[in-house]
């Protein structure tokens, strides 16, 4: 197994921080942690419940998980997954949907059972969303809660699509996307006007129930928000700051995303 270049470990209050030379080493380390959890659960004949994210950040983690499946026989038959969010409205076969993203970047290449995959449904009638969101929460509870939650961070400090103003105990619900978030997504949609204005997202409170949470961030463009999340005042203005009060949180960063941290 290749050695991964871990440059530094630090603690910011309750949060453990690992800083890697580059995002590739960092992603492989996170994938190995997920693989170990899955294998541990297999040895106990139990399911592993994963909370998954989309976006650019986790792509290399998924690549490594696919490699572990294809080359090292890692099976995902004991995995149940819950994705954080989906745009609303959104058809699952749209190239912009997170259903399509997850299929393309992970699920089509591994042996997870389709019935064990959960992604918020972007095709619902608005009046059905509230009940659906309650059921999403219930399903997570029924399988024993999320063992490992993967997170990225938006430039607004969102986790999932919990934009500024979200409360620490928010649960799965429909939200309005922040302008910065829609601007950041504009490229993929061929213009901001095509980015949906709403999404269904697991809440900050839903994420906090996970037994372990790993937030990943790569590159210079995330340095400021990472600093704020770890060192800033805890406030709903930057929902990621709520992680300072959660248990079992680790930030995994490359050196560019960590560049502004106090002891860097
Ligand atoms: C995606 C999600 C978002 C992203 C965040 C960062 O499921 O919940 O919070 O993690 O917007 O996006 P990227 O990784 O594209 O920088």
The model's pLDDT over 154-207, given as tens digits with 9 standing for 90+, comes to 999 999 999 999 999 999 999 999 999 999 999 999 999 999 999 999 999 999
Flag whether 130 is in a domain: yes
Flag whether 261 is in a domain: no
The reply to whether ligand 1 has any atom less than 6 angstroms from the CB of 84 is yes
Q: From start to end of 6-145, where are the E strands?
A: 6-12, 15-20, 48-52, 79-83, 85-88, 117-118
- Does residue 112 surpass a pLDDT of 90? yes
Flag whether 34 is in a domain: yes
Q: Are strands 85-88 and 198-201 parallel, antiparallel or unpaired?
A: antiparallel
State the CATH number of the domain containing residue 168: 3.40.50.1360
Q: Is 163 a catalytic residue?
A: yes
CA of 4 to the centre of ligand 1 (A): 24
Flag whether 9 is in a domain: no
Question: For the residues 81-109, what does the mean pLDDT come to?
Answer: 98
Flag whether 3 is in a domain: no
The reply to whether ligand 1 has any atom less than 6 angstroms from the CB of 162 is no
Number of structural domains the chain divides into: 1
CA of 164 to the centre of ligand 1 (A): 14
Residues in the chain, overall count? 264
Q: What is the pLDDT of residue 3?
A: 82
Please report where in the chains the tokens 């024993």 appear, as a residue.
144
Flag whether 2 is in a domain: no
For residue 151, the ligand 1 atom closest to its alpha carbon is 10
- Residue 71 φ/ψ, nearest 5 degrees: -105, -25
Flag whether 59 is in a domain: yes
Flag whether 88 is in a domain: yes
Query: Rounded to 5 degrees, what angle do the CA atoms 158, 181, 251 make?
Result: 35
- Domain carrying residue 229: 15-254
Measured distance CA(117)–CA(104) in Å, rounded:
14
Tell which one of 105, 154, 206, 254 to mutate to probe ligand 1, the residue whose CB is within 8 A of the most ligand atoms: 154
pLDDT band for 128, please (50, 70, 90 cuts): very high
Could you give the count of Cα atoms lying within 13 Å of 254 in the half-sphere of its Cβ? 19
């Amino acid at each position: 197994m290749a050695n991964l270049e871990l440059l530094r470990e630090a603690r910011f209050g309750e949060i453990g921080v690992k800083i890697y030379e580059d995002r590739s080493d960092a992603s492989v380390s996170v994938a190995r942690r997920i693989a170990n959890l899955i294998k541990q659960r297999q040895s106990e004949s139990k399911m592993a419940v994963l909370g998954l994210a989309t976006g650019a950040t986790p792509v290399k983690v998924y690549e490594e998980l696919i490699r572990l499946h294809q080359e090292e026989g890692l099976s995902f038959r004991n995995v149940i997954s819950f994705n954080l969010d989906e745009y609303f409205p959104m058809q699952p076969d749209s190239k912009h949907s997170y259903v399509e993203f997850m299929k393309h970047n992970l699920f089509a290449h591994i042996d997870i059972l389709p019935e064990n995959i959960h992604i918020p449904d972007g095709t619902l009638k608005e009046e059905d969303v509230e009940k659906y969101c309650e059921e999403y929460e219930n399903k997570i509870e029924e399988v024993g809660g999320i063992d490992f939650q993967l997170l990225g961070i938006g430039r607004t400090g969102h986790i999932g699509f919990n934009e500024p103003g979200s409360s620490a105990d928010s649960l799965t619900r429909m939200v309005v996307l922040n302008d910065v978030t829609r601007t950041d997504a504009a490229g993929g949609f061929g213009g901001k006007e095509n980015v949906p204005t709403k999404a269904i997202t697991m809440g900050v409170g839903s994420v906090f129930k996970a037994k372990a949470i790993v937030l990943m961030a790569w590159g210079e463009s995330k340095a400021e928000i990472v600093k704020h999340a770890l060192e800033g005042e805890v406030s709903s203005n930057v929902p990621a700051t709520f992680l300072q009060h959660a248990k079992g949180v680790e930030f995994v960063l490359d050196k560019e995303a960590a560049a502004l941290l106090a002891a860097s």
